Structure 1
Amino acid sequence: MEVILTEKLRKARKYIRAIFIIGTFLSIFLLLLTAGILAYAKLQGPPPLAVPQSAIFYANDGTVIGEMHHGEKRYWVPLEKISPYLIKATLSIEDKQFYKHHGFDGKRIIGAAVADIKARAKVQGASTITQQYARNLFLEHEKTWTRKLHEAWYTIRLEMNYDKGKILEGYLNTIYYGHGAYGIEAAAEYYFGKKAGELTLSEASLLAGIPKWPSRYSPRSNMEAAKKRQQVILTSMVEDGILTQREANKAYSQPLSVKKLVRKETLKGASYFFDAAKSELKKELHLTEQKIKTSGLRIYTSLDPRLQTIAEQTVEDVFNPKTELQVAFVAMDQKSGFVKALIGGRDYDQSPFNRATQAIRQPGSTIKPFLYYAALENGFTPSTSMRSEHTTFTLNDGVSSYTPSNFNHYYANDSITLQQAIALSDNVYAVKTHLFLGQDKLVEIAKRAGISTPLKKVPSLALGTSPVKLIEMVNGYSIIANGGWEVQPSFIKKVETYDGEVIYDAARERKRILDRDTAFLTTQLMTGMFDPKLNGYTTVTGTPILKYLSRTYAGKSGTTSTDSWMIGYSPELTTGVWTGYDRDKTMDMVEERGYAKKIWALFMEEALKEEAASSFKPPKGVTAVYIDPQSGKLATPGCPISKLTYYKRGTEPSEYCTDHLLYEEKKKEKSEKTEDPTWYDKLFKWLN
Structure 2
Amino acid sequence: MEIMTNQRFRKAGKYLRALFIISLIGLALSILAGAGVLIYAKILGPPPLAVPQSTLFYADDGTVIGESDNGQKRYWVELDQISPHLVDATISIEDRKFYSHHGFDYKRIAGAVIADIKAMAKVQGASTISQQYARNLFLAHEKTWKRKLLEAFYTIRLEMNYTKNEILEGYLNTIYYGHGAYGAEAASQYFFGKKAGDLTLGEAAMLAGVPKGASIYSPFNSLENAKGRQKLILRTMVATDKINKQEADQALNEQLTFVGKHLHTKTKIAPYFQDAVRHVLKTELNLDDRIIELGGLKVYTTIDTKQQEIAEQTVGRSIAKESEIQIGLVAMDPKTGYVKAMVGGRNYEESPFNRAVQAVRQPGSTIKPLLYYAALEKGFTPSTVMRSEQTTFRFDDERPDYSPKNFNSQYANGDITMAQALALSDNIFAVKTHLFLGENTLIETAKKFGLTTKMANVPSLALGTSGVRVIEMANAYSILANGGKKVSPIVIKRVENHQGDIIYEHNKEAVPILQPELAYVMSQMMTGIFDPKLNGYTSVTGSTVINDMTRAYAGKSGTTDTDSWMIGFSPELVSAVWTGYDKGKNITSSADKSYAKKIWVHFMEDALKGKPAKGFKAPKGTVGVYINPLNGKLATANCPIQRFTYFVTGTEPTEYCTDHLLYQEEKPEKKEKKPKKPWYKKLFNW
* TM-score tier after normalising by the smaller chain length: over 0.9
Residues 55 and 69 of structure 2 are in contact (CA less than 8 Å); yes or no, is this contact kept in structure 1? yes
Letter in 2 for 1:328: G
- Find the counterpart in structure 1 of residue 643 from structure 2: 643
Partner of 1:483: 483
Contact 1:374 1:441 in 2 (8 A): yes
Matched position secondary structure for 1:282: helix
Q: Output the amino acid matched with 1:273.
A: F
SS in 1 for 2:257: coil
Q: 1:595 to 1:39 in 2, by over 3 A?
A: same
Residues 465 and 665 of structure 1, relative CA distance in 2, 3 Å threshold? same
Alignment partner, residue 207 of structure 2: 207
Q: Which amino acid aligns with 2:242?
A: I
Residue 279 of structure 1 deviates from its aligned partner by: 0.6
Residue 194 of structure 1, CA deviation: 2.1
Whether the aligned pair in 2 keeps the contact of 1:74 and 1:182 (CA below 8 Å) is: yes
What's 1:67 paired with?
67
CA distance in 2, matches of 1:316, 1:545: 19
Q: Higher mean Cα deviation, 68-77 or 645-654?
A: 68-77
**1:135-174: CA deviations, max 9, x gaps?**
1111121111111111111111111111100111111111
Say if 2:550 is the partner of 1:550. yes
User: 3-state DSSP class of the match of 1:402?
Assistant: coil
2:603 corresponds to which residue?
Answer: 603
Hey, what does 2:582 align to over in structure 1? 582
Instruction: Give the secondary structure class of the aligned counterpart of 1:74.
Output: coil
Bigger mean CA deviation after superposition, 377-386 or 317-326? 317-326
Which deviates more from structure 2 when the two are superposed, residues 552-561 or residues 394-403? 394-403
Aligned-partner SS, 1:408: helix
Q: Structure 1 regions of 5+ residues with no counterpart?
A: 679-688
Contact 1:269 1:344 in 2 (8 A): no
Please tell me the residue identity of whatever aligns with 1:49.
Answer: L
Task: Compute the TM-score of the two structures, normalised by the length of structure 1.
Answer: 0.93
Mapping for residues 468-617 of structure 1, pairs under 5 Å: 468-617=468-617
Question: Which amino acid in 2 is paired with 1:355?
Answer: R
Q: What are the within-5 Å matches in structure 2 for residues 402-441 of structure 1? A: 402-441=402-441
Q: Tell me by how many angstroms 1:227 deviates.
A: 2.1
User: Counterpart of 1:292?
Assistant: 292
Shift, 1:191, TM fit: 2.2
Q: Hey, what's the Cα distance between the residues in 2 that align with 1:505 and 1:263?
A: 26
Equivalent residue number for residue 252 of structure 1: 252
Report deviation, 1:585.
2.7
Say whether the 8 Å CA contact 1:370–1:442 is kept in structure 2: yes
- Cα displacement (A) at 1:208: 1.0
2:374–2:442 contact (8 Å) kept in structure 1: yes
In the alignment, residue 529 of structure 2 is paired with which amino acid?
M
Q: Which moved more, 1:660-669 or 1:312-321?
A: 660-669
Aligned residues: 675
Partner of 1:684 in structure 2? none
Aligned to 2:137: 137
How many Å apart are 1:40 and its aligned residue?
Answer: 3.1
Aligned-pair distance for 1:16? 7.5
Residue range with higher mean Cα deviation, 138-147 or 23-32: 23-32
Quote how far apart the aligned CAs of 1:266 are: 4.8
**How do 1:180-191 and structure 2 match up within 5 A?**
180-191=180-191
Instruction: Show structure 2 runs of 5+ residues with no match.
Output: 676-686
CA distance in 2, matches of 1:409, 1:32: 96
Contact kept, 8 Å, 1:58 with 1:300, in 2: the verdict is yes
Q: What one-letter code is carried by the residue in structure 1 that aligns with 2:57?
A: F
Q: Shift of the alpha carbon at 1:516?
A: 1.8
1:41 Cα shift?
2.2
How far apart, CA to CA, are the structure 1 residues paired with 2:239 and 2:249?
13
Q: 8 Å contact 1:136–1:174 — kept in the other structure?
A: yes
- Give SS of 1:401's match: coil
State how far apart, in whole Å, the 2-side matches of 1:96 and 1:399 are: 89
The aligned residue for residue 346 of structure 1 is 346
Amino acid corresponding to residue 172 of structure 1 in structure 2: L
**1:253, distance to aligned residue in structure 2 (A):** 2.4
SS in 1 for 2:46: coil
Contact 1:268 1:348 in 2 (8 A): no
The alpha-carbon distance between structure 1 residues 209 and 437, as it changes in their structure 2 partners (threshold 3 A), is: same
Shift of the 602–667 alpha-carbon distance from structure 1 to 2, 3 Å rule, reads farther
- Counterpart-to-counterpart distance in 1, 2:504 and 2:245: 51
Pair 667,124 (structure 1): closer, same or farther in 2 beyond 3 Å:
farther
Give 1:35 shift. 3.8
Return the offset for 1:427. Answer: 1.1
Per-residue CA distance 1:38-96 (angstroms, 9 max, x = gap): 33322321111112222111111112222222342222211111111111111011000
For residues 92 and 451 of structure 2, what CA distance do their matches in structure 1 show?
Answer: 63
Which shows bigger deviation, 302-311 or 251-260? Answer: 251-260
Q: Does 1:86 align with 2:86?
A: yes
SS of 1:577's equivalent? strand
Paired residues of 2:189 and 2:263 also in contact (CA < 8 A): no
Is residue 269–residue 343 contact of structure 1 (8 Å, CA) maintained in 2?
A: no
CA distance in structure 2 between the aligned counterparts of 1:58 and 1:220, rounded to whole angstroms: 30
Moved more, 180-189 or 124-133: 180-189
Q: Could you say if the C-alpha distance between residues 311 and 477 of structure 1 is closer, same or farther in structure 2, counting changes exceeding 3 Å? A: same
Which residue does 2:275 correspond to in 1? 275
Root mean square deviation of aligned Cα: 2.5
Any runs of at least 4 consecutive aligned residues in structure 1 with deviations exceeding 6 A, and if so which? 1-22, 262-265
**Kept after mapping to 2: 8 A contact 1:267/1:308:** no
Report if aligned partners of 2:193, 2:261 keep a CA contact under 8 Å in 1.
Answer: no
The residue aligned with 1:174 is 174
Q: How many Å separate the matches in 1 of 2:329 and 2:336?
A: 18
CA contact (8 A) 2:134 2:151 kept: yes
Identity of aligned residues (%): 59
Letter in 1 for 2:360: I
Amino acid at match of 1:113: V
Please give the alpha-carbon distance, in whole angstroms, between the structure 2 residues aligned to 1:2 and 1:341.
106
Q: Which amino acid aligns with 1:92?
A: S
Deviations 1:276-334 (A, max 9, x none): 11111101121221232232211111111010011111112222222222111100111
Aligned-pair CA distance for 1:613? 1.1
